[in-house]
Structure 1
Amino acid sequence: MTPDLVLVLALLAVAVGLFARGRPSMDVVALMVMACLPFTGTVTATEALAGFADPNVILIAALFILGEGLVRTGVAKTLGGWITVLSGGREGRLIAALMAAASGLGAFMSSTGVVAIFIPIVLRVARAMKIPASRLMMPLSMAALISGMMTLVATAPNLVVNAELARRGYEGFGFFAFTPFGLPVLALAIGYMLLARRFLGGAVPAPGVGRTRRPGLADWIKSYDLARREARLRVLPASDLAGRRLDELALRATEGVNILAIERMGRFGPHFLRPRRETELAAGDVLLVDVVDPQGDLEAVAARHQLVALPLSGAYFLDRAQELGMAEALVPPDSSLVERTPAEVGFRSTRDVSVIAVRRGTGRVEGPAASIALKAGDQLLLIGPWSAIRRLAGERHDLVVLDLPEEADDYAPARERAPYAVLVLLAMVAVMASGLLPNAQAALIGCLLLGAFGCVNAASAYRSINWPTLVLIVGMLPFALALERTGGVDLAAQALIQALGETHPQAMLAVLFAVTAGLGLFISNTATAVLMAPVAVTLAQELGVSPHPFAMTVALAASTAFMTPVSSPVNTLVVGPGGYRFMDFVRIGVPFSLLTMAVCVGLVPLVLPF
């Protein structure tokens, strides 16, 4: 063992120790590794930083942006809703549906990309079902890793092993040659996680237990009795309102109703218009109105203007939570709003929101909210588009936003662009599955298309990238090069060949699996496959048996990266959202890796005889 190899192994041991300790953070440890490796003389400073240009790192960053596109267009919420429906409200069914979906999608595209796309979906479902995210994130990463055992193109190690077979003159694997092993492992993983989930977080909280008192729309709907005070009116073709501007109609002054929003049918379903002075009403529009005069005769108003009253309940506001937002705001003592009414101030024309209720002290002020003279300390309930609500959060002088409802986190600002996001995703998956373009290039093109279609903008794209995760991955990449140059990998391979001797071929598969999975703890699974595939084929040649079971064992073992958060980028991605520590992966991943090894070593000779 050379001095250079000793230095590299010592640095690797220190890094793993710091990962296990949890301090400093893993991305900081990665930066330390990048800074220290050049001092060993095995890699240059340029090589230590080369990971920032690695296609896989670029791919991961691009897929974060693609995931953001799914969130901003509401696709993530829709997918989460489908998974929730399939689960029937049961956590066990949810885990099974989630793992099946992630593994199925990962069979045709990057498993890292699958996790990046599913993370916001899982977080949304966890909040909706009040399940700790820690009980869902590790099943997600496990299923994504298992997806590498499903098809030939599911992960790079499969292609590396297949290429080694071809280089040696053997027939390669078919597209679905991996499926007979991946499906049983997936079924085993689902059953395993249904049992192991109890070690990944507390018990599922009962409704309301442990919940922060951040209000939701339902709380405000009930508190302010909105279902009784608001109404919906459809404009008939014969109505005298059709074709006229709101400033011409002056409905608040003439009829005692204040238009809060206008529903209008579009290409992809109904959408909301902001009621501005210049807005022209059209036949078929549905007006959401606030009854300014509770004693007024709304039926008479509808009859005079050829309007049809539509049903309205508190659930309506929840169903329209993607379009209409709410906020509670306080009037500070030095506000210019003091002693003025919302109508005088022109809330709707200046801020794109309407005041629908005023609370003073402990009670609500009765009467039309638009006509109430505001006082310092008044609490206002505002309604309007989410974009306008969020702009109010930056206002400090005239209004202080006290709270946003829980639904603000689920706002999809580009909801009408959802079909484009889905088309881009499907096109990207098709290109990746067909191999027409490199994965990183396909993902970058997908990001550009999302931007061109308005699904994301530059600011949201940069915010969506999890930079600490990328730094962690980049920092660990130089270890593979350092171990190869110092002879550490060759030394391990030679020791394996000497240790196997004349052992039974199936026992050799077990040792080969264990060594490959063990190497994957320290270097990327792709690098592991590059180093171990020649060893596997050589072993088969020396024994005079088919190399296919040995090559398949290496490929399957390379995807068995369940044991640490740095074994694979897939695991690294879920560390933050799941709130995991290093030892969480060890505790859950090591037993399952042993089970996976038993299944694979048992099945490989049956499907691919020696």
Structure 2
Amino acid sequence: MSDSTTTLVILALAVAAFIWNKLPVEIVALGVALALFGTGIVSAEDSYSGFGSGTVVLIAALFVVAEAIDAAGITTWLGGLLIRFSGTSRTRLLVLTMGITAVLTAFISVNGSVAALLPMVVVLAVRLGREPAQLLMPMAFAAHAGSLLVLTGSPVNILILEAALDSTGRGIGFFEFGLVGLPLLIGTIGLALWLGPKLIPRRDPDTLTRDLSSHGETLMRYHLGNDGLSRLEVPAGSGLIGQPSVDPLADHPEGLFLIGVQDRSGKPGSAPLLAEGDQVIVRGDQGIIDAFATRHGLIQAADSTCGLISSSFGVAEVVVPPRSDLVGTEAYPGMITESGALVVLSHQRPGHPSTLGRASVNAGDTLLLQGTWSALDKHTADHQVILVDSPDAVRRQAVPLGPGAVPALVVLGAMVLMLTTNVVPAPIAAMLAAIAMVLLRVITPGQAHRSMAWQTLILVAGMIPLSLAITSTGTATMIAEAMISVVGDSGPLLLLAAIFAVTAVLGQLISNTATALIIIPIALSIAGESGINPIAVLMCVSVASAAALLTPVATPANMMIMQPAGYRFGDYWKFGLAVMVLYAVVALFLVPVIWPLGAS
């Protein structure tokens, strides 16, 4: 059996395995690389060359950048704008939702933007009395269109760029993808407004995403009842400076309770005496707190979440499980935990109001802890307590534009500038941005590690040897000649249509990244055999790869919206087919205008 026949058999088995969907896609991709080596199609070095490719490095670095943008609260801020300006108008709601999703996708990928905005869109739909199903499919499809606005929108764009460089010696500009992406986005929005109500089914989801945007107020009501909680900052010249930190409110009125002393970042104070800038945390009737602050010249923090949550600090609610070592110990508001990084704001027993004094801890009791976000992440991951809501999830929904927002935006802008001007190779620019995000503490190294979508990285790395084999064995040329012979003398436009159809159909069944890796060498061979401009062919593949619209398994983003919207497997194709026609029009009629088919 010839090398090209062997490669075709491996390709067919890989596609069948992807469609079968019983094996993890990573295993299939690695199996492909090993099968190519085992049959002698590629060398050992080539079989794992994908893991050291610039494409994989670039994609991995972009995952870190995307995580930093989300962690900095930028996505939360965008969601807040959506809620603020959408009002009750269906048209405005759809346009803003789809526009914000597309813009976010351009910089943090389809899956990242859908995952970041999904909770807020569901909550917004519920608040406005609308079905999430009517918003989530347009949102996901807008993300697919948004992936073609700039280079960083999708791993497929990066593969297209690398292929363009290898085949023509010139790349595709950072914003050049937007020449097709912007019309796709505008057209998708128009179709959602016009055909969406007719083609998108009305479904009731089984469960809805938790809304944590007003988490501070919820916890205040549950733990403190009618009491207020305020952070009173000690200004310069205050008479409280020099008072003992353990009891700075010696002459406080009845009904005012000291919780503790913290610094501006929410860390428990450790100095024995109060100093300028310290913050005294008090609980009680808000009128009493206001009068006390005025009398002592204390500054109340103007915090929209009642002193519980800010960009620097937050709270975590934990439940004490049976057999925890905390059972039988004492807890009280103001107590500093054993780590020294968190303070207990409330101790509550089920069915009873929170206690203000010392009390024994029982199984089932709830503790409200406050500290810096990093301290909460670190010290609530403890088997002695059960965390109710992840501090990271709370922060991402409740704190727009956190302290890392400015450095994150600066780093993002610098990366875009480097990618646009090609001052350094794209993988280097992305790596520099990823490193900067960690060094500037926008995210921690642990968050950077967790941001990696290993399935995507292994899929790309494992399939790169197959893409190489399709080219080196002449398989791509053989398939290209077969397609050309079928089309005959019908012209390059029909060839382009054939490439679009094969790519689009395959993209509904397997990952669009895997699809691109398979189709790119074949498309380039067709371009070479028929004299078509390779850039036009590659852009057709890029558009067709983004048209993963007909099934929920086409992309993770399509799958993410399925349960929150209550969709069924067959709900996607009706509206998806209408949008697919738009993609075909762009690929077959707009692409040749921008990149003429006969250009060399």
Bin for the TM-score computed over the shorter chain? 0.7 to 0.9
Cα RMSD over matched residues?
A: 4.8
Deviations 1:80-128 (A, max 9, x none): 333444544778756644554565577xxxx685446535532453464
Residue equivalent to 1:141 = 144
Equivalent pairs counted in the alignment come to 570
Residues 314-325 of structure 1 mapped to structure 2, 5 A cutoff = 315-316=305-306, 320=310, 323-325=313-315
Distance 1:42 1:407, change over 3 A: same
Task: Structure 2: state its 5+ residue gaps.
Answer: 127-131
Match of 2:270 among 276, 288, 312: 276
State which of 470, 481, 484 in structure 2 corresponds to 1:494.
Answer: 481
**2: CA distance, partners of 1:149 / 1:59:** 9
Q: Structure 2 counterpart of 1:495, which letter?
A: A
For residue 427 of structure 1, what is the aligned residue in structure 2? 414
Contact 2:122 2:209 in 1 (8 A): no
Letter in 2 for 1:384: Q
Q: Relative to structure 1, is the Cα distance of residues 96 and 529 closer, same or farther in structure 2, using a 3 angstrom cutoff?
A: farther
Which residue does the alignment assign to 1:268?
A: none
What is the CA-CA distance between 1:240 and the residue it aligns to?
Answer: 0.5
Contact 1:325/1:408 (CA < 8 Å) preserved in 2? no
Distance 1:287 1:513, change over 3 A: same
Amino acid at match of 1:122: L
* Contact residue 160 and residue 526 of structure 1 kept, 8 A: no
Tell me the equivalent position of 2:129.
Answer: none
Distance in 1 between residues matched to 2:108 and 2:279, nearest whole Å:
41
* Matches for 1:271-350 after TM superposition, within 5 Å: 272-278=266-272, 280-282=274-276, 287-291=280-284, 298=289, 301-302=292-293, 305-307=296-298, 315-316=305-306, 320=310, 323-330=313-320, 335=325, 338=328, 340=330, 342=332, 346-347=335-336
Aligned pairs for 1:377-388 (under 5 A) are: 377=363, 379-385=365-371, 386-388=373-375
SS of match in other structure, 2:385? strand
| Residues 191-250 of structure 1 deviation map (CA, whole Å, 9 limit, x = unaligned) | 4456569989973659xx6467999444332223445243454545542024x3653754
Q: Give distance in 2, aligned partners of 1:276 and 1:577.
A: 46
In structure 2, which of residues 534, 541, 545 is the aligned counterpart of residue 557 of structure 1? 541
2:61 equivalent in structure 1: 62
Q: Which residue of 2 aligns with 1:373?
A: 359
Residue 38 of structure 1, CA deviation: 2.3
One-letter code aligned to 1:203: R
Where in structure 2 are the equivalents of 1:375-414 lying within 5 Å? 375-377=361-363, 379-385=365-371, 386-396=373-383, 400-405=384-389, 408-411=392-395
- Name the residue aligned to 2:33: 34
Question: Structure 1 residue 440: deviation in Å?
Answer: 0.9
Instruction: Give the Cα–Cα distance (whole angstroms) in 2 for the partners of residues 419 and 411 of structure 1.
Output: 17
C-alpha deviation, 1:578, in angstroms: 5.1
Rounded to whole Å, the distance in 1 between the matches of 2:436 and 2:410 is 10
Q: Deviations over 1:537-558 (max 9, x none)?
A: 6645xxxxxx66x853552333
Pick closer, same or farther for the CA change 1:487–1:320 going to 2, 3 Å: same
- Which whole-Å CA distance do the structure 2 matches of 1:388 and 1:93 have between them? 40
Match in the other structure for 1:363: 352
User: What is the rounded CA distance, in whole Å, between the counterparts of 2:172 and 2:339 in structure 1?
Assistant: 65
Residues 541-589 of structure 1 show CA distances to partners (whole Å, capped at 9, x for unaligned) of xxxxxx66x8535523333114569x9xx97564775569999988876
Change (3 A) 1:59 1:92: farther
Q: Structure 1 unaligned runs (5+)?
A: 265-270, 541-546
Q: Residue 257 of structure 2 corresponds to which residue in structure 1?
A: 257
Q: State whether residues 231 and 301 of structure 2, in contact with CA within 8 Å, keep that contact through their aligned partners in structure 1.
A: yes
User: % of aligned pairs identical?
Assistant: 24
The 8 Å contact of residues 564 and 586 in structure 1, kept in 2 or not, is answered as no
The range that moved more, 416-425 or 551-560, is: 551-560
d(CA) in 2 for partners of 1:588 and 1:295?
Answer: 53
Aligned to 1:203: 203
Shift of 1:383: 3.3
Is contact 2:151-2:158 (8 Å) kept? yes
Structure with greater Cα Rg:
1
- State the TM-score, normalized to the length of structure 2: 0.76
SS at match of 2:442: coil
- Contact conserved, 1:480 with 1:527, CA < 8 A, in 2? yes
- SS of the residue 1:80 aligns to: helix
State whether residues 262 and 288 of structure 1, in contact with CA within 8 Å, keep that contact through their aligned partners in structure 2.
Answer: yes
- Contact 1:58–1:440 (Cα < 8 Å) also in 2: yes
TM-score with structure 1 length normalisation? 0.75
